Structure 1
Amino acid sequence: MLSLEQMIFCIQKVYPGTRQGSDYWVAHPVDASLQQSGPAFVVEWKLDQPQPTEEQIEAHWTAHGDEYRAMAADADGRAKRNALLVDADNLVEMAIDTGNAALETSARSYRQSLRDLPQREGWPNAISWPDPADAQPSIPQT
């Protein structure tokens, strides 16, 4: 069962440069919890070219599904990394504000490790996330 995003990907493989929402509309049914409950389908087709059949879409998914999965894994990894970079920036700033040079060095190293992730082996399917533990400020015990 193809998701909305997968169906759009396949259509754009057949017709590069086209856009969901202006050249065609794709949707999918949902259940009471708003989870996809059936395959995506074309609601409206505005192109002069013939609308691809379900069989053509399935053939394109078979041929290009791995490419889509790699793109999705990369996007997911980058989204998580970007959120962690915001936290890492805060750690660096906190270390600078407190004048803790060792903590600043550690926080900067952690932040750089996050920045380097997409170039490391294993990206995006087997990401070895750096540990921020050394970059955390210690909380004094009272």
Structure 2
Amino acid sequence: MTHDELIAAISILYPNAVHGRDFYVAHMVEPQTNVQLSSAFIAQWTIDGVPEPSLPELMQAVAPHVNTAKATVCARDVRWERNARLDQSDSFLTRAVEAEDAAKVTALKAYRKALRDLPLQSGFPFDVDWPELPAEA
């Protein structure tokens, strides 16, 4: 399980718990590449009145939520990429508006709408059909 998936799963199990305040999650990484070498684990647990679960207890409790956690992390990553592409297209749209190039404006507006509509795709977040940046841009 990845670092972010474990955080998401713990957040499902303990909705009022905040990573970085109530608990910390960590995992071993390869120093040169930062590739994750181990499953994530709880590095620190300070949730008042809630004893830290053992790893087997945690894995059993988290198991029903793994798919939801994976989807949460994947959706977050897709949205980050989508937002980066929206940010990138801002300058293209501004230049097209300033140049009064109606064809470019129309194409870029359609592209940006397609980006904003990504979460509505049936395969979201695991199977996303990314729109192409218009060639005119």
TM over 0.5: yes
Residue aligning to 2:20: 21
Residues 127, 96 of structure 1: alpha-carbon distance in 2 compared, 3 angstrom cutoff: same
Question: Residue 39 of structure 1 aligns with which residue?
Answer: 39
The CA deviation at 1:68 is 0.8
Distance 1:112 1:40 in 2: 37
Q: Which moved more, 1:22-31 or 1:60-69?
A: 22-31
Identity, % of aligned pairs? 30
Structure 2 length as normaliser, TM-score?
0.83
| Counterparts of residues 75-114 of structure 1 (less than 5 Å) | 75-114=76-115
Change (3 A) 1:51 1:92: same
The 2-side partners of 1:98 and 1:21 are apart by 47
CA RMSD of aligned residues (A): 2.0
> After superposition, where does 1:121-132 map in structure 2 within 5 Å?
121-132=122-133
In the alignment, is the contact (CA less than 8 A) between 1:106 and 1:134 conserved in 2?
no
Verify the 8 A CA contact 1:110 1:135 in the aligned structure 2.
no
Alpha-carbon distance in structure 2 between the residues aligned to 1:69 and 1:21? 20
**Shift of residue 131 of structure 1?**
1.6
Cα separation, 2, equivalents of 1:12 and 1:128: 29
Q: 1:42/1:107 Cα in 2 relative to 1: closer, same or farther (>3 Å)? A: closer
Taking the TM superposition and a 5 Å limit, the aligned residue runs for 1:27-66 are 27-33=26-32, 34-47=34-47, 48-66=49-67
- Partners of 2:101 and 2:112 lie apart in 1 by 16
Higher Cα Rg: structure 1 or 2?
A: 1
In structure 2, C-alpha distance between the alignment counterparts of 1:103 and 1:90, rounded to whole Å: 12
Shift of residue 87 of structure 1?
Answer: 2.0
CA distance in 2, matches of 1:103, 1:51: 56
Q: Do the aligned residues in 1 keep the contact of 2:3 with 2:26 (CA within 8 Å)? A: yes
Matching residue's letter, 2:7: I
Structure 2 unaligned segments of length 5 or more: list them: none
Aligned residue in 2 for 1:139: none
